[in-house]
Amino acid sequence: MIALVQENQQLFILSIVLLLLIVLLWLLPYAMLHYAQQPFTRAMRYWIKFKQNVRQNKHFIQFKKHYPKFSHFLFRRLQRQYFNGLPLTLFIFVMGYIFALFSGLVEDVVTSDTIVTMDHFVSQQMNMLRESSIVHFFILITSLASTAIACLVVFLVCALCVIIRQPYILIGLLLSALGSSIFTFLSKLLFHRLRPTGGLLLESSYSFPSGHATISIALYGFIAYVAIRFSQNYVRKAHLFFIAVLLSILVGLSRIVLNEHYLSDVLGGFLVGALWLTVAISVTEWFSSRAKITWQIPWSAAQIYLLWFSVACVLIAALIYAQRYQFPLLL
């Protein structure tokens, strides 16, 4: 047994990572279902108390008298009842934080910081998995984020939104998918980073950031967000979140295992996707606050069947795409 592990050390470590990842993501919805509501309620109670204390503070009262318009503007930024208040403030904060993380990662990559050393070490380890059967699994996973399959997914989601008469969702969808794709394309041209040597799929575009990792967050993350908003069941919402996170991580991991991207490329793709996902969600929530989108709608049996038919079409199309265009590259 020990000899077998030593001979397949990289595969063993990858299997352990996958197992721990699945267990962790399985425990996350469980924790959300059983423990998230109480801290959230407590946080809201503290938030209301904080606002009351601010209103009664003598320094704030004096500030309000001297600068009534500015104090009103600041206080409006903390109102939960309006989208232009606390929700927009939080969205802007999250977008700024993600962009700061991406900027820091870019600096590390450009200056050949420690993460670049890690990139080459991980790439060398993945080269040893070229003959492993696990490569076929990750080719199927990576096909889900290919350009052809992503376009099919966008088309099917657009059709479903038209059928259920919620066209304003399409603006967020296209903003997330197209915005992130254009940003990634321009970033590749800007940084001119070469891909790792020994890539199994022989892709020739530049490496940073990973387009597959970007689209896994921007596109599938937005679809998960829409599905969660439509769902009225808290358990189902937690499971949808679990599936979306797991799929995104597997797509990112597939790019590393197939040696098509460095670790930092995938992390950069995740950050770009998260940035545009946040932008798309904020725009969609703005439309929702103006009653342009109705989340609580009755779904007919035909619409539910059409939804599952669309999911099946995507999975079959990904299998065909991998079989026709990607598996032959392994020969």
* Domain spans in the chain, listed from the N-terminal domain onward: 39-76, 91-330
How many residues in the chain?
A: 331
CA angle 131, 135, 139 (to 5 degrees): 145
Whether 109 and 116 have beta carbons less than 8 Å apart is answered as: yes
Q: Return the pLDDT at 134.
A: 78
Q: Return the pLDDT at 32.
A: 60
* Torsion angle of C-alpha atoms 226, 231, 237, 243, degrees rounded to 10: -50
Q: Return the pLDDT at 12.
A: 55
Q: Who's near 111: CB < 8 A, 6+ residues apart?
A: none
* Torsion angle of C-alpha atoms 38, 242, 101, 262, degrees rounded to 10: 160
**pTM for this prediction:** 0.82
Contacts 24+ apart (CB under 8 A), 89-93: 91/278, 91/281, 91/282, 91/285
Q: Return the pLDDT at 118.
A: 82
Q: Return the pLDDT at 159.
A: 92
Tell me the two tokens of residue 258: 């197939």
Q: Return the pLDDT at 258.
A: 85
Tell me the two tokens of residue 172: 């967020």
Whether 266 and 255 have beta carbons less than 8 Å apart is answered as: yes
Going residue by residue through the chain, which has 331 residues, state the pLDDT in tens, using 9 for 90 and above. 455 444 455 555 666 666 676 666 666 666 665 565 555 566 667 666 766 776 677 766 676 677 676 666 666 666 666 666 677 778 888 888 899 988 888 888 888 778 888 878 777 777 777 767 778 888 899 999 998 999 999 999 999 999 988 999 999 999 999 999 999 999 999 888 888 887 777 777 888 899 999 999 999 999 999 999 998 887 788 888 888 988 998 999 888 888 888 888 999 999 999 999 999 999 998 898 888 888 888 888 888 899 999 999 999 999 999 888 887 776 5
Q: In the CATH hierarchy, which fold is given to the domain comprising 91-330?
A: Vanadium-containing Chloroperoxidase; domain 1 (1.20.144)
Q: Return the pLDDT at 15.
A: 61
DSSP conformation class of 323: I
Task: Give CA–CA dist 74/96, Å, rounded.
Answer: 18
